[in-house]
Chain A
Amino acid sequence: MRPILMKGHERPLTFLKYNRDGDLLFSCAKDHTPTVWYADNGDRLGTYRGHNGAVWSCDVSRHSTRLITGSADQTAKLWDVKTGKELFTFRFDAPARSVDLAIGDHLAVITTDSFMGNMPTAQVKRIAEDLQDQTEESALVISGITGRINRAVWGPGNRTIITAGEDATIRIWDSETGKLLKESDKEVGHQKAISSLSKSLDWSHFLTGSLDKSAKLWDARTLTLIKTYVTERPVNAVDISPTLDHVVIGGGQDAMNVTMTDRRAGKFEAKFFHKILEEEIGGVKGHFGPINALAFNPDGRSFSSGGEDGYVRLHHFDPEYFNIKM
């Protein structure tokens, strides 16, 4: 499994996202310029130029026509995937952190940080099919959470919105009314900030990563804790394999508090766990800094990691990986 090293970003990586077909990989970094790569060979296909701050996350529409990005420049932007053209800008009064498109691509949930006395929010925006009809208006604003909301994603059937962040609590909200439906149990839940959240393909469960050095698997409907994966380092990134009962977890130091990165090779490892048995299967070393982003290709045959070191590493699994017996 010789990794492909993708050098294109000048600053730490923040987020990685494959399109549904698994042929394109989108990367976000603190260097203001989201980039798209061929997911097979790691060739750079293009960049999206227009943000004036770190880009924290992105999502791509089902047919890979549109990209949405959230940035510290207090905007979220819509882009034409193919041409790289900026199509629309949503302006906020605080940095935009997390973006997620609903099934159908007609809605997006965008979170904003607490900033200059503003509380953090999760806002729902309508995404118009025709750009002429696109407005900045929010269909729903969820607020009242203290601490940054690091991830907000759509729940099963777009009926709910799941948020997680600095206060270590996961919340499920009604996506129509904005009513709080469920909160994760404080006893069994994360004890420190939740950095990352990834859904299963069928949306029955999702995985969260936390600075408390664990990742946890939750029932997406009842918010019951199902599994816990324990590691030695704060977790910055997680993903669930779309094909096997595996999860991948990566981290290092808190991405926000990195003062010095360790230059010893292989110090930072993406760790694979058996999803059901909660046992560690193995690890992939390589980054010279904490891992901030992880994503499985939708075909389950490769994965990519993004590091504080500014690199994206693309790994195609060896045949042995598919024969692991537990």
Chain B
Amino acid sequence: LDKEMEEGANAAVIEARRRLYQEWYSWVREEKERLREDREELGLPDPEEELKLQRTRSADVDSEKVVE
């Protein structure tokens, strides 16, 4: 019986978290789309894309280290 209750409680937690994630990601997706349209209109760069590019660039620099 304990085991059943525990599994039930776990399932409830997982379900609640799944709902929170779903809510969040659907909201973020909508907002990102809206912000992208705004940025394009204003000719502004995408801050997240820029950060990704920046990381790629710094990774490139790291791999160029010369070991003698």
Contacts and interface: CB of A to CB of B under 8 A. Distances in A.
Interface of A: 21, 103-104, 156-159, 201-205, 219, 221, 226, 242, 276-277, 298-299, 326
B42 A157 contact: yes
Contacts of B21: 276
Contacts of A277: 17, 20
Nearest to A22: B54
Nearest to B42: A157
9 contacts: A21-B54, A157-B35, A157-B39, A201-B47, A202-B47, A203-B35, A204-B31, A219-B31, A276-B21
Given A276-B24, A277-B20, A157 B31 contact: no
Contacts of B64: none
Contact of A201 (B44, B51, B55): B51
Contacts of A103: 44
Query: Main SS of the interface on chain A?
Result: loop
A201 B48 contact: yes
A221 B31 CA distance: 9
B32 A204 contact: yes
Interface of B: 17, 20-21, 24, 27-28, 31-32, 34-35, 38-39, 41-42, 44, 47-48, 51, 54-55, 58
Contacts of A219: 27, 31
Contacts of A201: 47-48, 51
Contacts of B47: 201-203
A298 B53 CA distance: 13
A242 B17 contact: no
Contacts of B44: 103-104, 157
Contacts of A104: 44
Given A157-B44, A201-B47, A204-B28, A299 B55 contact: yes
B41 to A, nearest CB: 8
Nearest to B23: A276
Contacts of A221: 31, 34
Given A204-B35, A276-B21, A277-B20, 7 more contacts: A103-B44, A202-B31, A203-B35, A219-B31, A242-B51, A299-B55, A326-B17
Nearest to A204: B31
Given A103-B44, A242-B51, A298-B51, A202 B32 contact: yes
A157 B32 CA distance: 13
Nearest to A276: B24
Contacts of B39: 157
Contacts of A276: 20-21, 24
A202 to B, nearest CB: 6
Contacts of B32: 202, 204
A201 B45 CA distance: 12
Contacts of A226: 27
